[in-house]
Structure 1
Amino acid sequence: MEVAPAVTTIAQAIQLSVAPVFLLAGIGAILNLLASRLSRVIDRSRQLEILYPQSTGVEHERHVWELRLLDRRMMLVNAAIFLIVSSAIAISLVVAVLFVAELTHLNIGNIVAIAFILAMLLFVAGLILFLIETRVAIHAFRIREELLERGEK
């Protein structure tokens, strides 16, 4: 006769998984932000792709410069999304392994710890790329000095 896990065992497993689940909710918000940034970068690059063939001289050089910057931003956001989604997958695996370990009484604490550390490293790497992307974006959107009328005559 097989014994079903006690309700208290299941409750303990749920308690153990609450923190990682909250972390997943935060990761979802960050992914939403990154997807939004990626969408805006793509929209801007499409606008410039239309203007690019019609431009000449300094304007053309500025379009080329901005397209290169947008390409770099797309690469950074894509990489950040990849790392943060990988982190979410690792955290989800941590939650699943916590349940399995609790229900089967396996002593796999080291595996859970390693998976969680890996998840946090992936998350931090993704956030670092996000930080770099925001710095690149700020560099791209500095207002040119000639457009800032300083009142000098």
Structure 2
Amino acid sequence: MLPNAVSTIAQTIQLSLSPVFMLAGISGLLNVLAGRLSRVIDRARALEALHPSSTGPEHDRHVWELRLLAKRIVIINAALFLAVSSAVMTCTVVALLFVAELVDLQIGSTVAIAFILAMGLLISSLVAFIIEVRGSLLAVRVRPELLEHK
């Protein structure tokens, strides 16, 4: 009976490899998102320091960029929340696989739904990431007046 148990555990480990690889990908995404959030916060702090002493078009540009940065912070936070939620659901899938095998539960549908939910959360996080990246491009556009040769 012990060799069968070892074989069953080995099969369960094989089943859990895909979610574990997914976790590795999510961890990379979390690293990128945290880095972007850090850079956005640093830029917002720098602009907040310049804001009181600026006037005219420069002041307007600072206000515009601060508003953009505030939106980006919200989007990155949402992406982080969704990615972490996806990682938690992925861990739940792995745990359910082992619990189902150990206790001999027939919860294949529950495991499948949990995995689909984990993927849905990951997809949502990636969509938020795309939106944030597109928003960041607005701030790096070179203003036409800087390109004029006088």
Q: TM-score, normalised by structure 1?
A: 0.93
State the alpha-carbon separation in 1 of the partners of residues 79 and 46 from structure 2: 24
State the alpha-carbon separation in 2 of the partners of residues 25 and 118 from structure 1: 17
Q: Is the 8 A contact 1:42 1:74 kept in 2?
A: yes
Q: TM-score, normalised by structure 2?
A: 0.95
Q: Which amino acid aligns with 2:96?
A: V
Q: SS at the partner of 2:142? A: coil
State the alpha-carbon separation in 1 of the partners of residues 38 and 19 from structure 2: 28
Deviations 1:131-150 (A, max 9, x none): 0000100012101111124x
State the alpha-carbon separation in 1 of the partners of residues 82 and 68 from structure 2: 21
**Structure 2 matches for 1:81-96, cutoff 5 A?**
81-96=80-95
State the alpha-carbon separation in 1 of the partners of residues 5 and 133 from structure 2: 49
State the alpha-carbon separation in 2 of the partners of residues 49 and 118 from structure 1: 39
Q: Which amino acid aligns with 1:51?
A: L
After the TM superposition, list the runs of 4 or more consecutive aligned residues in structure 1 that deviate by more than 2 angstroms.
none
Q: Is the 8 A contact 1:9 1:103 kept in 2?
A: no
Q: SS at the partner of 1:107? A: coil
Name the structure 2 match of 1:59. 58
Q: Which amino acid aligns with 2:6?
A: V
Deviations 1:59-80 (A, max 9, x none): 0000000000000000000000
2:142 counterpart of 1:143: yes
Name the structure 1 match of 2:105. 106
Name the structure 2 match of 1:24. 23
**Structure 1 residues 69-78 or 103-112, which shifts more?**
103-112
Name the structure 2 match of 1:15. 14
Q: SS at the partner of 1:80? A: helix
Identity of aligned residues (%): 62
State the alpha-carbon separation in 2 of the partners of residues 21 and 81 from structure 1: 19
State the alpha-carbon separation in 2 of the partners of residues 148 and 14 from structure 1: 59
Q: SS at the partner of 2:41? A: helix
